[in-house]
Amino acid sequence: MRGVRTLLIIGCALFCLTAVGVAQRLGGDPKAKLLKNPVAYNAASITAGRAVYAKNCRHCHGLRGKGDGPLAPKNPKPADLTDATWEHGSTDGELYAIILNGAAPRPSQKESEMKPMKGTLSPTQIWQVVNFLRSIGPHPPPVK
């Protein structure tokens, strides 16, 4: 009985970890939408986010976030991070989740649109990238 209970607990834990680590779906994520950005939106965090973005994201999304980086795949083309259409959600929490967990492939595609950055970037670095994306997006908030 003890072994069954242990296996059940381990199975539940693995299920929960898998559910949390799945790629962001089209249309956003209600749970991620509730996440609040703990990193202040200011010039310092935007500058730090720009540096992280330049090192880890520009190869596909391009230096200006247009989805035209030198290693950008043709299909699917990386998202234009400066336009008003963000298919995987547009709150800070949803942006954080998609950077952390990657994007799920579209139904017509076999491969993921974006690989997860979990294990590559720290949570603070991801929030800084979110702040940078806000600064280049369609309606950035004012810098404090």
Question: Any idea where the domains of the chain sit in the sequence?
Answer: 2-136
Outline where DSSP puts E strands in the chain: none
- Write the pLDDT tens digit of every residue in 48-80: 999 999 999 999 999 999 999 999 988 888 889
- Write the pLDDT tens digit of every residue in 5-32: 444 444 333 333 333 344 445 556 788 8
Q: Please state, in angstroms and as integers, the Cα–Cα distance from residue 76 to each residue in 60, 96, 106, 132, following that order.
A: 11, 21, 9, 23
Q: 32: how many CB neighbours lie within 10 A of its CB?
A: 21
For domain 2-136, the CATH superfamily is Cytochrome c-like domain (1.10.760.10)
